[in-house]
Amino acid sequence: MLTTRFADGAPNWIDVATPDIAGAASFYGDLLGWRFRSAGPDAGGYGFFQLDGRTVAGGMQTGPGQSPPAWTVYFRSKDAQATAEAAEQAHGSVLRQPTDVMDQGRMAVLADRAGVVFGIWQPGQTEGLDAANEPGALCWVELYTPDIAAAAAFYRKVLGLETSAASFPGKTYTCVNPSGADDAVFGGMVPLADASAEAQAGAGPYWLPYFEVENPDAVADRAQRLGGAVRLPPTTVPGVGRMAQLADPYGARFAVIRSESAQD
């Protein structure tokens, strides 16, 4: 599971790019109880979504022609430059070269072999998010990709990630964990072909973040009332929990789940 005891290769940050940060703040505030706080005049419009005073995500406004509305998952790296070079060697690409973020850390934006965008965060003063795996916070990430084997090889070379198989009725799920920590599974990989037409509509491969909630059905209904969309209606997966895949009013995709571990 995700924790704030971040290991190299595990997600330690997440942010959303949106054409309307005020509108996104209103949406996620009403949906998940978040409050948006600007990082200040020197941050280029970047800010933090907080829950009970703790940072659970970041957000930034984009202009015309910039990146489309989307959530980006960042993975912990002890050396962002080395990780960026490893991504290129593994036939990925560097979309934004490693850059210092004041004294808070060092970040880069990369893409894997299939073109899936993800970030790297090398901690400085900021280790990562303040909360994980609790209501309103990031609890899981899932990669939708056309080639599981190729993705597994890429992320192993670049981030040291390991994969394992979990069996469910009718299918096998590929779990992901940091190197040498098979008890710290934080996400999974799903064949793009297995995504429902509604969930996949208009998207290529991508990382999908999951936020823990107490009532996915109510959250899905509220998302629609707030101008968002339900990409996959609330569904129960035995042994996992009840989940729904959504999009905010600008098209950024995310999911919510009431995991069985949280219920227990």
Contacts of 85 (CB under 8 A, 6+ apart): none
Query: Are 42 and 98 in a shared domain?
Result: yes
pLDDT of res. 65: 77
Confidence of residue 200 (pLDDT cuts 50, 70, 90): low
Q: For residue 208, what is the domain's CATH number?
A: 3.10.180.10
Check residue 66 and give its pLDDT: 83
Domain extent, residue 73, equals 11-123
SS3 assignment, position 81: helix
Are residues 152 and 49 part of one domain?
Answer: no
Number of domains in the chain: 2
Written as six digits, the tokens of 48 are 């933090």
Does residue 130 sit within a domain?
Answer: no
Contacts of 238 (CB under 8 A, 6+ apart): 168, 169
pLDDT (average), residues 160-179:
89
pLDDT range class, residue 183, cuts 50, 70, 90: confident
How long is the chain? 264
Q: What is the mean pLDDT of residues 175-186?
A: 88
Over residues 7-12, mean pLDDT: 96
The least confident of 27-41, 95-109, 165-179 is 165-179
Hey, is 11 helix, strand or coil? strand
Read off the pLDDT of residues 140-150 as tens digits, 9 standing for 90 and up. Answer: 999 999 999 99
Using CB atoms within 10 Å of the CB of residue 19, give its burial: 0 to 12 exposed, 13 to 18 middle, 19+ buried.
Answer: middle
Backbone angles phi, psi at 31, to 5 degrees: -85, -45
pLDDT at 197 over 60: no
Q: Answer whether residue 45 is part of any domain.
A: yes
Tokens encoding 134: 């609790």
Residue 132 within a domain: no
- CA distances for 25 relative to 17, 50, 67, 98, 253, angstroms: 12, 10, 18, 28, 15
Cβ–Cβ under 8 Å, residues 255 and 208:
yes
Compute the distance between CA of residue 17 and CA of residue 19 in angstroms, rounded to an integer: 7
Does residue 165 share a domain with residue 90? no
Q: Summarize the confidence of residues 24-49 as an average pLDDT.
A: 93
pLDDT at 5 over 90: no
* pLDDT range class, residue 264, cuts 50, 70, 90: very low
Global pTM reads 0.95
Task: Report helix angle 148-159 to 80-89, nearest 10.
Answer: 150
Residue 2 included in any domain: no
Q: β-strand 187-191 against 241-247: which pairing, if any?
A: unpaired
Strand arrangement of the beta sheet that strand 47-51 belongs to: 35-38, 47-51, 54-61, 11-18, 70-76, 117-123, 105-111, 93-101
pLDDT score, position 199: 56
Segment 210-243, tens digit of pLDDT: 999 999 999 999 999 999 999 999 999 888 999 9
